[in-house]
Each structure stands twice: as structure tokens, then as C-alpha cells.
Amino acid sequence: MRRFAVITAMLVTGCSLLAANALGQTLDPVFANSFESGLIGFGPPLSAVAAGQSNIATAYTSLQVTLSAPAVAPTFVAITSSDPSAITVSGGGATVSTGQTTAAVLVNGLIGSATPVTLWATLGNMLGASVRVEQALNETDVAAEADRCIVQFPTTFTITANAAAPTVYGRLFEAGVTDPAGAPVGWTAQFGYGPQASDPRLLAGWQFLDATYNAQFGNDDEFQVNFNAPQIPGIYSYAYRFSNDAGGSWTYCDTNGAGSNAGLTFETAMLGQMTVSDPYAGLVINEVDYDTFGSPDNAEFIEVYNSGSQAIDLSTLALVLINGATNLEYARFNLVSAGSIAPGQYLVVGSSNVAVAMGALTILFPTNTDQIQNGAPDGIALVDTTSKNLIDALSYEGSITAAMITGFPGTYSLVEGTPTAAVDGNAINGSLARLPNGTDTNNAATDWSFTKTPTAGAANVLTP
């Protein structure tokens, strides 16, 4: 199971020009010193839209309005543009649905410019936010289009999520500008990545980072960028882009060259490809004994298993226990003391009374009794406390679909597919186990079974 909380606030370096007048203002003296009702948020302070795109959310971070309280009925927030020739707002504003506090703002990008346009939202309070309209110059043959640019190296690579990526290089040739040694005067370079095979000129789903001048190669100027891979595994496309007007218009570059020189065209099929792998592939909650034979529960344990092919660092991981009555976290066991878990290895977090197989990693509970609740329902989440990702989960004796993990955004379902009907109890010695051992088809109903043979730190065995 892999659920990655898409939490990342997508930042665009190089977009530092903020409109000073896009600060909170008021139409009513009542709100002069504080926002007491109505509109209390309009942001981010700066986002972007591609010229020629209509009725679309802004790029990098979606522009939205925020009310001071949930709307009791569909609530319209009027939004005006300081420059309607460059950008307008679809429908003249945004409607917050009943019971909600936020709504996305859809815009129409008309004319590109390096200078952002301020949009003003009004509902009791007036708040401003800036949007820059960015123009793609490829195949226009205007003077501002670069003569030639290219993603130089690498054109493809594989990297673990959130790890430091290899340096990516891009080159620019502009007659009379890049010929002399040194960085090209007046030109800006950025590297960006986005959904596989998507068009970066449309901006949707893309992030761009400033690149720095590296070296002179003949008449070309080379730039470089260093960055961390996205947190969400998958296949991404990447590109370079160059601007000579501070970011209002851009020439986009692929791996076989683009620009205004003869024979060059920008092709999305020729973008670079970045494959981001799951750093926790194969790591699962594998066995749980939450209600031990007799009373009190003095031999409880949770087993984690690495069914993958790579060692996994546990330093930022934790097992979080969720109370199904409240959906709140009631206990947490950090796994940092276990170091890393090798392929095929087990980690047992439990009571010192548990007989753990040789070779397994162990972390002891603070006390030996009643550390894991017995339902119904209750749940266990395996999480990354740094990236705020849910790696694996089990909801037992019922369904927990809105767990709240302390310090994590939003809520999380601990149910994979259909909830398991398997139940652990104190009348018979046994445990809940993934069977066959390590099986994870993202359907708890088939992955989990009750077994009369607990095997803490070893392969699970089915004894019905």
C-alpha cells in the first residue's frame, strides 16, 4: 500500500516579484484592524497562468479564496483584475460551496508579461493576490525566442523519492550574446519537471527552479541545477526554459534542441525523463497481536517486514496507533533506534515477553501490558514523520477512514480495499497476519487472516 499525502507546497524560485499592493485591505472600517468575518484569505501571493489558457487554475500553487467560517449557502466572492487585458477571472469570481471555507479561482491568461497582475477579491474584506501571465515563445520566431537551447545531460535518470537528484545541465545559444565568455547578460534559466508527457508550456502540474550559470562551451552557455526529487514516486518529464525579459516569456527546451534556428521544434515526446522510485517499496505492517491470550494483554507486538530488494532507512519512520472511537492518535513508537531494515528482515515492536525470532530487529514497548487497543475499531499506521507520508496501515475490527495523525495534514484512511473480517481475541492464542507472508494486494479482506501461530520476527504461518 502506498498513499502519499500530496502536501508539498509547490514553490517557484525566480518568481520573487510580489505586488506590494496585494496586501489585505478593507472596504469597511469595522475590519480595519482585524478580519472578523467574510473573506480572510486570498492566495498564494504569487502564482502563474500560461497565456492562451482559459478557465484554468493557476500554476505552481492554485489560487483560492478562504472564508472566516463554513458557508451556510453557496457564497460568491467577486474578484476583479487590475489589468483585464492581461488576465480575467472566470465568472467574475469564485463560489464557496455550502459547508466549505475555500474555493479555487479559475482564470483566463491573455497576454504574457514579466509584471504580475493584481487580482482583488471582495467579500466584506478586500484582499489582493498577484498572478503572472507567462508566454511560451517556441515556434513564434519573434526576436525574444532563443536561437537554440537544449537539455544537455542527463536525458533520463532514476532516483529515490526526496533524494538528491543528479545535476541536470542545459545549454543556451543566442547569437552575439552567448559567444563571449561568462553568463549571458539579461537571460534567466530555469529547470522544471511535471507529469509524464505533459506540456510544460501549459504550466499545469509543473514546478520550475532557477538554474545557475556553469561554464562556456564553444558559443554556448551552460547552466546547471541541483534539487531533491519529488516525494511522490512516479515518472516525470523535465525540461529547461530560458527568458530574456525576466520571466514574462520563455523558450522551452527538450533533449534534441529547440528555438528559432532552422529545423528546431519543441517536442513533448523529447523531454527528459525522471523515474522516482518508492523509498519504502516492500515495507509493510506484517503481523499484529493486539489481544493476547488471557488477561491482561502482556505479549502484544507489531511486526514490520521488508519484502523489497533494498535496505530501508527507518530513522524518520514511526508506528502510530489510532483510537477508532475518536479517530485520534493515542500512541506512537518511533523506529529510529532500529537503524535500517535489510531485505527480508523483520522488525518487532512489542512487549519484552514476546519471543522474537533470531535475526529480527526489536524495539520494546514502554511497558509490557495493554499498549495496543482491542477495537472496535482501532488502527495502526506506518508513517514517515518527515515527509508526512502514510506508508502502510491496518484498520481492525471495523473501518477507520478519517484518522488524524498528530502533526500530519488532513485525514487518512487506514482501510486498504475492503476491511479485514479477521479478529484477534484473548480466548485463543494467535495474531492477525498477512498471508501468504508479506502479501500486499491493497485489499485487507484478502491480505489479512487470523492464525493460531504467532511468529514474531519470522515468516507468517497459517494455522486456522
Q: Quote the DSSP letter at residue 69.
A: S
82-138: per-residue pLDDT in tens?
999 999 999 999 999 999 999 999 999 999 999 999 999 999 999 999 999 999 999
Nearest one of 23, 14, 208, 39 to 118, comparing CA atoms: 23
Q: What single DSSP character describes residue 420?
A: P
Contacts of 31 (CB under 8 A, 6+ apart): 38, 124, 125
Of residues 409, 372, 426, the one with CA closest to residue 394: 372
Tell which residue, 3, 346, 386, has the closest CA to residue 163. Answer: 386
Question: Could you read off the pLDDT of 205-238 as tens digits, one per residue?
Answer: 999 999 999 999 999 999 999 999 998 899 999 9
Residue 203's identity, in one-letter code, is L
Average pLDDT, stretch 2-9?
37
Q: Are 209 and 192 in contact (CB under 8 A)?
A: yes
Mean pLDDT of 442-455: 97
pTM for the predicted model, two decimal places: 0.77
Question: Can you tell me whether residue 44 is helix, strand or coil?
Answer: coil
User: For 148-277, CATH number?
Assistant: 2.60.40.650
> What single letter denotes the amino acid at residue 459?
A
Class of CATH domain 283-451:
mainly beta
Decide which of 2.60.40.2030, 3.30.930.10, 3.40.190.10, 3.20.20.70 is the CATH code for 25-134: 2.60.40.2030
Q: Where exactly are the structural domains of the chain?
A: 25-134, 148-277, 283-451
Res 426: pLDDT: 85
Q: Same CATH topology for 25-134 and 283-451?
A: yes
Please give the torsion angle defined by the CA atoms of residues 85, 91, 93 and 95, in that order, rounded to the nearest 10 degrees: -160
pLDDT reported for residue 241: 98
* Cβ-proximal residues to 128 (8 Å cutoff; 6+ apart), any chain: 19, 21, 22, 23, 24, 25, 42, 118, 119, 120, 121
With a cut of 60, say whether residue 196 has pLDDT above it: yes
273-311: per-residue pLDDT in tens?
A: 999 999 999 999 999 999 998 778 999 999 999 999 999
Q: Rounded to the nearest 5 degrees, what angle is found at the Cα of 336, between the Cα atoms of 332 and 337?
A: 105
What is the helix (H) or strand (E) element at residue 250, kind and residue range?
strand 249-253
Tell me if 251 sits within 8 A of 258, measured CB to CB. Answer: yes
